[in-house]
Structure 1
Amino acid sequence: MLKKSVYLLLLGILIVLVACDDNVNDDDEVADEEANTEETSTDQTEKEDEVEVEPPVTEEKDDNRTEDEENKEEETVQEITEPLYQIDDNWNVVPLEEGTNENVVLLTIDDAPDENALEMAQTLNQFDVPAIFFVNGHFLQSDEKKEVLKQIHDMGFAVGNHTYNHTRLSDVDEDTQKQEILELNELIEEIIGEKPKFFRAPNGVNTDYAIQLVEEEGMLLMNWTYGYDWEADYQNKEALADIMVNTELLSNGANLLMHDREWTADALEDIVKGLRDKGYEFADPMTLQVPE
């Protein structure tokens, strides 16, 4: 009986010890899980702290531009907003205000786009020289020639009206004069998206009616001070380049007339370089005062 009681006592103690051990293990597992959760949260917080927040992207001013480029940009804005020159009664380019550079010449090219206008525009564009291309409607009957005019305009050159059929205005009635001018205006606008701002009559022959109509259309009437490329003696590169640069008619504000011709296209680079060597700059047609 005594042995049985001792045996039951030892069995009870053993059961208590096993139960305590299980509780300890359970507590340790809970503690471990809580510790792991805390470590994971800490790691995530640390990683979030390590992520760099990039500043918002802002447009930076191009500091690589030279002072001359910045000044040129400012001058361009001024040229667009207000005119700098006018055409006087002798067809010269004259400053509107004292202090504006008067040592300039204006380049104009008639009878475009025949066969050489695009080449001439590319030459002028290469040397950053502005000009007016006065066009005729009979050269704009094909899609190819319309595309040529569009390319010339897209290069930044001014486009002028030289009548639809290169008609001498003094030889036709007023209705025909109106048709010659207005129909070409409409065609030019259809091609380049804007009406021309300049008008030059074929052979420089204007009529009272044409002058009034041009003003009503808000175009600047244009003629020239000198030109030579239609004369037989100057229908070659060397002779034409020489006379255009060295003529006694060259002066401040000269309004130079040239044409869409092979020999003129050949001489154009030498003409530009020669005028620059003499100290002349080239007036931008967009700075000319036009009728309102």
Structure 2
Amino acid sequence: MKQWMLILVCSSMLFLVACQNENESTDETTSNTDGNTVETEPNLDVETNEDYEELTNEEDTEEQDTRVEPVTEEDIEVQYRSNEKNWAIEPIEDGIEENVLLLTIDDAPDKYALEMAQLLKELNVPAIFFVNGHFLQNEEDYETLRNIHELGFHIGNHTMTHPVLSDINEERQKEEIIELNVLVEKIIGEKPKFFRAPHGANTDYVKDLVKQEGMLLMNWTYGYDYFEPYMDAEKLKEAMISGEGPEVDVNYSLLQPGANLLMHDREWTFEALEDIVKGLRDKGYTFVNPEAIEIPES
């Protein structure tokens, strides 16, 4: 009898130990919605899933805050002014880079302006495109101008019909300038900041009007593509890089720090443009962003 009692007690103890082990195993699992048990992952020292998500979001936010924003026109500091005696672009203060050039394209957008803008964009060269109203006659022309502007180039005023301003009365001078300002603003959403008179023929009235309109009066230092001997890409390239135009009696170089380079929307100019840019860079010059040029207050 005592032997049977001993066997019964031992069996009971084994049963209790088995039940305890089963309960401990169950504590390490949870049930999903269909009643099956699934493994649970350890918390990795994070008290709750909400805490873990909050920590992760904070890390993402910190990473985003360190990203560098792209440079915009608002970030460009005004460092240069236009010298009205020789039309060169000069540093406002000592210590600012002097070996700069300003690149400008007149009579746009005729045939090659957009392609010229795309090329200059690839070469990372800023420029001003001075436009004529008679090249802005329809929506296709408007779209071309918008594309040039959206590539990052300034649009300048070169009058509606390209007259010699000194040959017309003041009322017409005003119409030529104001009407184009209105048209350009309608197309690209902003008025021109720069004005260049056709043939460089300004009048006292034009100078005052341009200032009232909040624009900078601008001529040029040199340009050769409108002279017949330089209506050839190879000859034009040599003249623009050297600054010399011997075939039009310019036997000395007009290339100097701050030179305001005049070119036009022409086939030969487009063909020579890349070589001109590279040749001038090889001489140690960089190209100034028009946004860095001071606009006098009206």
TM-score, scaled to structure 2: 0.78
Q: What residue is the counterpart of 1:43 in the other structure?
A: 29
Structure 1 contact 79–287 (Cα < 8 Å) conserved? no
Are positions 1:200 and 2:210 aligned together?
no
Q: 1:166 aligns with which of 150, 162, 168?
A: 162
Tell me the CA shift for residue 43 of structure 1. 2.5
Q: Partners in 1 of 2:265 and 2:177 — Cα distance?
A: 20
How far apart are the structure 1 equivalents of 2:73 and 2:126? 16
Report sequence identity in percent: 57
Q: Partners in 2 of 1:101 and 1:134 — Cα distance?
A: 25
User: Counterparts of 2:226 and 2:274 in 1: how far apart (Å)?
Assistant: 18
Unaligned runs of 5+ in 1: 1-27
**Following TM superposition, where does structure 1 have runs of at least 4 consecutive aligned residues deviating by more than 2 angstroms?**
34-54, 57-63, 76-82
Paired with 2:62 and 2:165, the residues of 1 have a C-alpha distance of 55
Residue pair 1:80, 1:287 contacting (<8 A) in 2 also: no
Tell me how far 1:50 sits from its aligned partner. 4.2
Instruction: Spell out the pairing of 1:171-190 with structure 2 (5 A cutoff).
Output: 171-190=167-186
TM-score (norm 1): 0.79
What is the CA–CA distance in structure 2 between the aligned matches of 1:163 and 1:195, rounded to whole Å? 13
SS of the residue corresponding to residue 60 of structure 1 reads helix
| Rounded Cα–Cα distance in structure 1 between residues aligned with 2:120 and 2:99 | 19
Q: Equivalent residue for 2:131?
A: 135
Q: CA deviation at 1:42?
A: 5.1
Question: Which residues of structure 2 form unaligned runs of 5+?
Answer: 1-14, 31-37, 47-51, 245-252
SS in structure 1 of the partner of residue 180 of structure 2: helix
1:58 maps to which residue? Answer: 61
| Secondary structure at 1:266 match in 2 | helix
More helix by share: 1
Structure 1 residue 284 corresponds to structure 2 residue 289: yes
Aligned length, in residue pairs: 256
Q: Does 1:112 align with 2:108?
A: yes
In the TM superposition, what is the alpha-carbon distance from 1:167 to its structure 2 partner? 1.6
The answer to whether 1:211 aligns with 2:207 is yes
* Aligned counterpart, 1:83: 78
Task: Point out the structure with max Rg over C-alpha.
Answer: 1
Paired residue for 1:144, among 122, 140, 160? 140
Deviation at 1:207, TM superposition (A): 0.8
SS in 1 for 2:63: coil
